[in-house]
Amino acid sequence: DAGVTQSPTHLIKTRGQQVTLRCSPKSGHDTVSWYQQALGQGPQFIFQYYEEEERQRGNFPDRFSGHQFPNYSSELNVNALLLGDSALYLCASSLFQREVDTQYFGPGTRLTVL
C-alpha cells in the first residue's frame, strides 16, 4: 500500500521564479492538504483540496495556489518566489469526512530560494 509520495525531493530556485511541487495521496484517500515547515517551526497549513476544489485556506498570499486532479493527486504552485519561501513543503492526505480525520504526511520537498 503506497503511502503519500512527493516530488521532487529537493529544489533550488532563485528569487522571482515560479515552482511547482507534486503530491500523490495515500491509496484510498481523496483529500490533500499542503503545509509549509520553516526551519525550527512546526508545519503551517497552506490549503486543502477535495473534489478538485480548494476547501480551506490558511494565512498564505495568493502567490500560493494549487490544483487537484481527478486521480486525487495535487500540485502546489508558488509564484514570484521570495527568500522567505525557503522551507520544507509537506503534503498530507486523508479521507474527506464531516468530522476530522487523521492526516498522513509525505516526506516533503525541500525548497531553497537563492
Binding residues vs other proteins (CB under 8 A): 4, 31, 33, 35, 40-45, 48, 55-56, 58, 90, 92, 94, 96, 98-108
Q: How far is the CB of 100 from other proteins (least distance, A)?
A: 5
Cβ partners under 8 Å of residue 37, min gap 6: 43, 44, 87, 88, 89, 90, 108
Residue 96 corresponds to which cell in the numbers above? 474527506
Q: What is the DSSP letter of 59?
A: S
Smallest distance, other proteins to C-beta of residue 16, A: 28
Q: Closest approach of Cβ 90 to other proteins, in Å?
A: 6
- 19 vs 90, beta carbon nearer other proteins: 90
Cα separation values, 38 from 15, 35, 81, 108, Å: 17, 10, 15, 12
Q: Which is nearer to other proteins, 80 or 112 (CB)?
A: 112
Q: Tell how many helices (H) and how many strands (E) occur in the chain.
A: 0, 11
Nearer to other proteins, 11 or 105 (CB): 105
> Please, what is the minimum distance in Å from the beta carbon of residue 6 to other proteins?
8
Query: How far apart are alpha carbons 80 and 65 in whole angstroms?
Result: 12
Q: Which is nearer to other proteins, 33 or 68 (CB)?
A: 33
